[in-house]
Structure 1
Amino acid sequence: MSTHVLHLISLSSLVLIIAISVTKSARILILQGPGEGSHYFTATAIGEVLVKRGHQVTILLSDLYAYRANATKDAQLYNFELYQSSMTAETRDELYTAMNRAAFKKCENILKDVTLLSKLTMIDFDLILVDMIFNCPVLVAQYLDKPFVYFVASSMVPHPFSFRNRLPINPAYIPEMLTGFDHRMPFMNRLKNTINTGIGMMLCNLVLDPYEQIKKVYKIKPEVSMYDALGEGELWFLHTNFALDFPRPLMPNVIPVGGLTTKPAQPLNDTYVMSMDNDVASMFAKAFRALPQKVIWKLGGNLAQELPDNVKVMEWIPQNDILGHKKVKAFVMHCGINGVYEALYHAVPLVCLPLFGDQFDIAARVASKEIGIQLDVSTLESSVLATHIRDVIEDQRFKDNMNKFSYIFRDAQQHPAEVGADWMEYVLRHGGARHLRSAALDLDTYQYLLIDVLITVCIGSIIVLFILITLCKFCLRKCMSSCAGSKSKRD
């Protein structure tokens, strides 16, 4: 082998070693909302891959979720930094009915903790993963003056925030969040969708205004508005996959990572348990009693009536493992995004009973794809529920469609969490992803909407029209004068 070839191999090896060392030395901070439920599990799905690739991942959590730092698996994977919450578990649950108030309270708890912020500053993170649903992580990222990547635990983003980040939006075929609309909308739905988008635009600044005050109080880049700060993310990880979601245009810095928690059947970590109103629970029990199939029911609290013989109630279940069992025929659920993707992964048809938030939008997508049905739990009767469950089980259409879209969903080269980790390493290697950032983000709203251009065109058109009318009048007067002169000579 020639000396020249050996030199090239040595040089290539050196470049490879340098690239590996860059990715392995990264310190990554995860700033997300609750320490449980879909927000936690979607963020840590990417975090787990990053840890396995040699990165140091730190998660900032309220002390209300301190048990995460003691959990065997999580404690082995991540470093945890806890801040002291001014809320109790009870007041936290109450505030989550008004999500913005809970997020604002959390923000104050973090930013007034000088010791915590000093420690985070000393760690000198290379990159921050922030939960977009909560505005405070953006402020913390700004305080630390570090690049950040958004992740969106929902499968969609409210149009006002899409607009600020210059994602293409068109209310004619892109449903606004919380409407529960399909992408094929009749006139009235398009009208409502447009109105909802407009109202959201107007209310956006009102939602962000309290954070503007926080920026000033804590001197966090007060010269940059909160509205502009939201557009500073290097990338967006959008928890969507078009096997489930409706088609829509995305910008180059928006990466679909839908199905982050999906995996081959195996026991899961503890899942979030909700208690259920006793009247609703009784309605479910009556419906399940009418089914010939056996039912596994995840339910927190005690049921006030005797359980049917075909029902087994558990406060925790290995949901993913059960969905992967070949005998499972249907999944009755509230249509949370992680559970829907797990059902899609294992091709289990759905009966959706959305309760709040984006669950209505997700249920609309399930119904549109005909991989399940959507029901209204507030008006539902036990006999109707039992009938619909039987329909989903017995109608081959639902199983066939679920098999089809499950195949589409799983027909990917990489798992979504691997995709997220790849892109975060991409940002680390290149010192950001500004080249994927649209120039539209640097435009003011009036420039982005071409209002200045439209005004100029309108004014120009008016001037041209005025000139044309003036010329026409002048020509007309000349013609009339010439005609009058000719007539006088003839007389």
Structure 2
Amino acid sequence: MGQSDPALCIMGSSHLPSGGNVALRAAFLLSMLVQTCNGGNILVFPVDGSHWVNMKILMEDLHSRGHTMTLIRASSSWYIKETSPLYTTINVHDEMKFDDFFDQYLKKQLEVLRGEASVLKSLTIQLDLFDMLSDAHRLTCDMVSNMLDDRELIKRLQDEKFDLVLTDPAISAGVMLAHYLKLPLVLNARWICSGEGHFAIAPSPLSYVPVPGSGLSDEMTFIQRVKNVLFYGIILYQEKFIVGPHYKDLCSKHFDEECDVLTYTQEADIWLMRLDFVFDFPRPTMPNVVYMGGFQCKPSKALPEDLEAFVQSAGEHGFVIMSLGTLVKGLPSDMANEIAAAFAKLPQKVIWRHLGERPSALGNNTMLVQWMPQNDLLGHSQIKAFVAHGGTNGVQEAIYHGVPVLGVPLFFDQFDNLLRLRERGGALILELSDLNQHTFHESLQEVVHNNSYRANMQRLSRLHRDQPMAPLDQAVFWIEFIVRNKGAAHLRTESFRMPWYTYHSVDVILTLLSLVGLILFLIAAAIRYVCCRVCCRKKLKHE
């Protein structure tokens, strides 16, 4: 890493001093030309799937500002290309094979939601999810262990003199590697390996901070608060028994100290959180948390000619888009036909990202696509509604463009994401257990024709855009801050190193209560002593 600031790049002629002194102007230009725009040397350890979409956007901006990046890529990667102008690749072998898991999991979930599964089968499905999570982290730890055993690879990483590690902590391989290499750590985060990131670093009162998966808002009844506590117990169980043991094994093999993955995650210098408080409920936070919700959003571009012609053919009725994200190929055929039949009744045109079998009830107003320019469609003036599964990216893009949402959550955090939009009046949620042709059509009609949904989403859009610095610029600023200052220890609390009884001041409270108890005891003893003395004197006098 050079000493010059990444912002000090070669400047154009508009920055040259005015006046007639040609020699001075030439000298100034020459001084600018000899300056180099030295950027940071960054090691990137991403997570695949939709998480990679976010990381790639961040890397594109870093690359445009002159930073050099080396990316560690697993051999089983779905979307991360081996060659790219953005980065140099280090390929590592892994054994992750979860290609069909999410489709199978969705089918089983539908059986539960439709009441077709017994209580025992419902429990088995949840255990299957825990097994998948356990396997994913076990295989991750095996991959990291193999990397650390490869002395040639480790020497190469050490010789590169990286300025920091940028990683997504949902799978914590990058966290462990950063600690091993003793490098500053920046997290592109919302999730960590045991749950939502805030719960690891910031005070999270369960009285008004809903646990992901609970389906609760920040205003809870007593029963809901009980439910929230129980869901928090699931996070602790997952951390202690599902995920933690694999990282403990990795620690015992490659690290001298007693360690755990949660502690190493808490040591991160900066948390780049993929949300903001236009989207999320207010809650306590920490100085090293940087909110970049919607950083992937941008003004829409012109549509391809075929799509533009299709949406314009609807006239004043406009169009609707539907996408269920990258993890699921498609809904079961019977449900897809219910949706297709409902779409066929609409005066609007429909663009539907659907990878499964073509529904037999598909109407002439519906176009099936395998990929769509979602951001550009959401920014189009003719769009009326977005049918979405509730992934964070889609929700943030809907907020950015002010488009009302009909939410069809599938699993994981999707219901909670849509709940936040519903609480702000910008979305309607239709659960899979209630989805049929009639309910889908009625719900979509409500979102399209009730202007309050659009008005509320446009209000959220204005709030999101009304900030002094664009979220992506803010994220990159803090990455460059870490490069310039070799970390940000002054922003990081050490509270996670405290025992729980110290953190919650249980020892202080017990000490103070003991002192109060001792004082009360001494007062009571003194009163009793005085009373006894008085009684004795009266008795002796009487005798």
TM over 0.5: yes
Judge conservation of contact 1:171–1:193 (CA < 8 Å) in 2. yes
Supply the AA of the counterpart residue of 1:84: H
The equivalent residue for 1:7 is: none
The equivalent residue for 2:232 is: 197
The equivalent residue for 2:326 is: 272
SS of equivalent residue, structure 1 residue 378: helix
Hey, what's the Cα distance between the residues in 2 that align with 1:472 and 1:227? 54
Alignment counterpart, residue 51 of structure 1, candidates 63, 82, 85: 63
1:130 paired with 2:167, answer yes
Hey, what's the Cα distance between the residues in 1 that align with 2:480 and 2:192? 23
Higher mean C-alpha deviation, range 294-303 or range 453-462 = 453-462
The change in CA–CA distance for 1:50 and 1:212 in structure 2 (over 3 A counts) is: same
The equivalent residue for 2:536 is: 481
Judge conservation of contact 2:194–2:235 (CA < 8 Å) in 1. no
Hey, what's the Cα distance between the residues in 2 that align with 1:417 and 1:203? 32
The change in CA–CA distance for 1:479 and 1:267 in structure 2 (over 3 A counts) is: farther
Alignment counterpart, residue 219 of structure 2, candidates 184, 192, 195: 184
Gaps of 5+ in 1: 1-12
The equivalent residue for 1:80 is: 89
The equivalent residue for 2:501 is: 446
Hey, what's the Cα distance between the residues in 2 that align with 1:407 and 1:157? 34
TM alignment of 1:43-442, pairs within 5 A: 43-65=55-77, 68-69=80-81, 75-88=84-97, 90=99, 97=129, 98-113=132-147, 114=150, 115-153=152-190, 158=195, 162-165=198-201, 167-206=202-241, 207-217=243-253, 219-266=254-301, 272=326, 274-276=328-330, 277-442=332-497
Judge conservation of contact 2:353–2:369 (CA < 8 Å) in 1. yes
Hey, what's the Cα distance between the residues in 2 that align with 1:257 and 1:435? 21
The change in CA–CA distance for 1:163 and 1:319 in structure 2 (over 3 A counts) is: closer
Hey, what's the Cα distance between the residues in 1 that align with 2:220 and 2:336? 34
Hey, what's the Cα distance between the residues in 1 that align with 2:179 and 2:82? 29
Judge conservation of contact 2:170–2:192 (CA < 8 Å) in 1. no
Judge conservation of contact 1:372–1:398 (CA < 8 Å) in 2. yes
TM-score (normalizing by structure 2): 0.79
Supply the AA of the counterpart residue of 1:337: T
Hey, what's the Cα distance between the residues in 2 that align with 1:222 and 1:84? 27
Judge conservation of contact 2:163–2:486 (CA < 8 Å) in 1. no
The change in CA–CA distance for 1:435 and 1:87 in structure 2 (over 3 A counts) is: closer
SS of equivalent residue, structure 1 residue 128: strand
Give deviations 1:117-145, integer Å, cap 9, x for gaps.
44333322110112122222211112222
Supply the AA of the counterpart residue of 1:272: T
Q: Paired residues, what number? A: 462
Instruction: Give the drift of 1:331.
Output: 0.1
Supply the AA of the counterpart residue of 2:86: L
Q: Which has the higher contact order (CA 8 A, sep 6+)?
A: 1
Hey, what's the Cα distance between the residues in 2 that align with 1:481 and 1:349? 85
Hey, what's the Cα distance between the residues in 2 that align with 1:324 and 1:45? 18
Instruction: Give the drift of 1:186.
Output: 1.6
Instruction: Give the drift of 1:418.
Output: 1.3
The equivalent residue for 2:45 is: 31
SS of equivalent residue, structure 2 residue 406: strand
Hey, what's the Cα distance between the residues in 2 that align with 1:88 and 1:455? 52
TM-score (normalizing by structure 1): 0.87
Instruction: Give the drift of 1:88.
Output: 4.3
Instruction: Give the drift of 1:425.
Output: 0.9
The change in CA–CA distance for 1:168 and 1:472 in structure 2 (over 3 A counts) is: same
Higher mean C-alpha deviation, range 405-414 or range 332-341 = 405-414
Instruction: Give the drift of 1:396.
Output: 1.0
CA RMSD of aligned residues (A): 2.7
Instruction: Give the drift of 1:306.
Output: 4.1
Instruction: Give the drift of 1:461.
Output: 2.6
SS of equivalent residue, structure 2 residue 342: helix
Supply the AA of the counterpart residue of 2:174: P
The equivalent residue for 1:9 is: none
Judge conservation of contact 2:96–2:136 (CA < 8 Å) in 1. no
The equivalent residue for 2:513 is: 458
Instruction: Give the drift of 1:209.
Output: 2.0
Instruction: Give the drift of 1:437.
Output: 1.4
Judge conservation of contact 1:131–1:137 (CA < 8 Å) in 2. yes
Identity %: 28
The change in CA–CA distance for 1:243 and 1:308 in structure 2 (over 3 A counts) is: same
